[in-house]
Structure 1
Amino acid sequence: MNNISAVKVENLTKTFDGHEVIKNCNMNVRKGTIYGFLGANGAGKTTVFKMLSGLLTPTMGKAQVLGMDVNSDRGEILRNIGTIIETPIFYEHLSASENLEIHLAYMNANNSEIDSVLTKVGLNNTGKQPVSKFSLGMRQRLAIARALIHKPKLLILDEPINGLDPMGIREMRELFLDLVKNENMTILISSHILSEIEHIADTIGVIVNGTVIREVSLTEVKAECPTGLEDYFLDIMTGRIGNVKTY
């Protein structure tokens, strides 16, 4: 497995109104892998994603994305990552293709791959249909397309399969695996659907109250808890598995 880090976080802290939401957080996402980021609602997953994406400034600590500092290299990082964080917002009166064209113009990137990417996410037959007419699942597919369209090196995906039906979930699972295997991307992904993370992840990170308390390969998860990732995660949350184990 590649030991080069796509994301390296050391003692990261974020404070809001005197309250530490992220506390001395450490994590390591290896290039060319899928890292499943797990935690209960409010544990801090989205806040970490926002700091890695330059949407929030860390209070203390260090974070590097693709070897660049999140504080000083924000513009270059944004050109090399694709993100889904919280509810995606689109130009409602425009089509899927037109929304991607605008995003590419913003990113100063080439637009030759729009049809190909829309096909990859299953939106190739939407034509000029405005996004306002899209279902929740279609909007989520478009969010994934927008994250991919400028050919990023790293995807940061916060609950990317929300709103998808079982067929859509499987299609996105296959897409994520293909992006890592054949396009050399790295994926940092959160989801409450633990079975999906279990299908695709190489490494699991578990965050509790703003701190990553466990970082472990999926192979180790299966060895320690043969009944699967869901039971492993619940055992951590209830204290049946010890808290600290990191790379």
Structure 2
Amino acid sequence: MNNKIINVQNLTKTFGEKEVICRCNMTVPQGVIYGFLGANGAGKTTIFKLITGLLNPTYGQINILGLDIGKSHNKILKQLGCMIESPIFYDHLSATENLEIHLKYMGCIDANIEKTLNDVGLVNIGKQPVSKFSLGMRQRLGIARAIIHKPRILILDEPINGLDPMGIREMRELFIRLVQEEHMTILISSHILSEIEYIADIIGVIVNGSIVEEITLLSIKEKFPEGLEEYFFNIMNGGNTYE
């Protein structure tokens, strides 16, 4: 668990004259669920886009699996699964057809589409076009697309949006299973703190474009008996970080 599967140093991103990410440092050990927390606009999605190569940093370094994302993007991409912001599909095609296109793009021939759809709770959908899917079904398909090629790292930005309580519980169990059985490392953001508290091993908190703390969930519970919500609002209200 000491192996750094993601290591970000002094990461900065500016858009025009506005600095949105400010000298961020992030360390994600292998085989954990890393819960990434912050207020709206703090920079969570931007960090995820930088890590996955969807955005280029202004300066700073991003190493994934020991490789520089800028120099080895294509090699790293095959080891990443991600769902950032609202997933986009070919709406006139079925879930199966969308996944087939993704697998071709990833150069993956050894994948079980039916099993993956079952894993995310998309059963008995036949050849129904994605245009007929509800928001929750689209979220499930987005997660299926992120995991179907069995990446080593899974990056999920608000993955339970649009899911009902049963769906949220199913995805929670799936994420834990992916770590335990498929040995994935998961970075996940969510505004639902209770869900992060259920599954995360490590918490990272970003405030105004800077990651102010990375801490184990166990350490949080030792200092904040009421749990993750108490800890999070303590930081948001300017309280001291854990020492």
TM over 0.5: yes
Name the SS for the 2:78 alignment partner.
helix
Structural mapping, 1:18-167, within 5 Å: 18-110=17-109, 112-167=111-166
CA distances 1:71-114 after superposition (whole Å, capped 9, x unpaired) = 11111111110000111100101111110000001111115410
The residue aligned with 1:10 is: 9
Displacement of 1:6 after TM fit?
1.3
Name the SS for the 1:12 alignment partner.
strand
The residue aligned with 1:219 is: 218
Query: CA 1:4 to 1:61, structure 2 compared with 1: closer, same or farther past 3 Å?
Result: same
Q: Which moved more, 1:99-108 or 1:111-120?
A: 111-120
In the alignment, the residues of structure 2 paired with residue 92 and residue 153 of structure 1 have an alpha-carbon distance, to the nearest angstrom, of 28
In the alignment, the residues of structure 2 paired with residue 157 and residue 108 of structure 1 have an alpha-carbon distance, to the nearest angstrom, of 22
CA distances 1:174-206 after superposition (whole Å, capped 9, x unpaired) = 000000001100000000000000000000000
In the alignment, the residues of structure 2 paired with residue 95 and residue 143 of structure 1 have an alpha-carbon distance, to the nearest angstrom, of 13
Name the SS for the 2:118 alignment partner.
helix
In the alignment, the residues of structure 2 paired with residue 113 and residue 65 of structure 1 have an alpha-carbon distance, to the nearest angstrom, of 26
Q: Match for 2:170: what amino acid?
A: E
In the alignment, the residues of structure 1 paired with residue 60 and residue 221 of structure 2 have an alpha-carbon distance, to the nearest angstrom, of 32
Structural mapping, 1:162-241, within 5 Å: 162-240=161-239
In the alignment, the residues of structure 1 paired with residue 67 and residue 139 of structure 2 have an alpha-carbon distance, to the nearest angstrom, of 29
Displacement of 1:244 after TM fit?
7.1
Q: Which moved more, 1:46-55 or 1:109-118?
A: 109-118
CA distances 1:188-242 after superposition (whole Å, capped 9, x unpaired) = 00000000000000000000011000110000010110101111101110023x1
Any stretches of 5+ residues in structure 2 without a counterpart? none
Q: Normalising to structure 1: TM-score of the pair?
A: 0.96
Q: Match for 2:51: what amino acid?
A: L
- Conserved? CA contact 2:111–2:148, under 8 Å: no
Identical amino acids, percent of aligned pairs: 63
Name the SS for the 1:26 alignment partner.
strand
Name the SS for the 1:157 alignment partner.
strand
**Structure 1 runs of 4+ off > 4 angstroms?**
none
Q: Match for 1:201: what amino acid?
A: A
Name the SS for the 1:214 alignment partner.
strand
CA distances 1:41-80 after superposition (whole Å, capped 9, x unpaired) = 0000001000000000111111111211111111111111
CA distances 1:10-67 after superposition (whole Å, capped 9, x unpaired) = 1100011121110010011110000000000000000100000000011111111121
- Conserved? CA contact 2:111–2:149, under 8 Å: no
Aligned residues: CA RMSD = 1.0
Any stretches of 5+ residues in structure 1 without a counterpart? none
In the alignment, the residues of structure 2 paired with residue 189 and residue 67 of structure 1 have an alpha-carbon distance, to the nearest angstrom, of 21
Q: Match for 2:55: what amino acid?
A: L
Name the SS for the 1:206 alignment partner.
strand
Displacement of 1:124 after TM fit?
2.4
In the alignment, the residues of structure 1 paired with residue 214 and residue 111 of structure 2 have an alpha-carbon distance, to the nearest angstrom, of 39
- Conserved? CA contact 1:13–1:58, under 8 Å: yes
In the alignment, the residues of structure 1 paired with residue 206 and residue 183 of structure 2 have an alpha-carbon distance, to the nearest angstrom, of 26
Number of aligned pairs? 243
In the alignment, the residues of structure 1 paired with residue 110 and residue 125 of structure 2 have an alpha-carbon distance, to the nearest angstrom, of 18
- Conserved? CA contact 1:213–1:244, under 8 Å: no
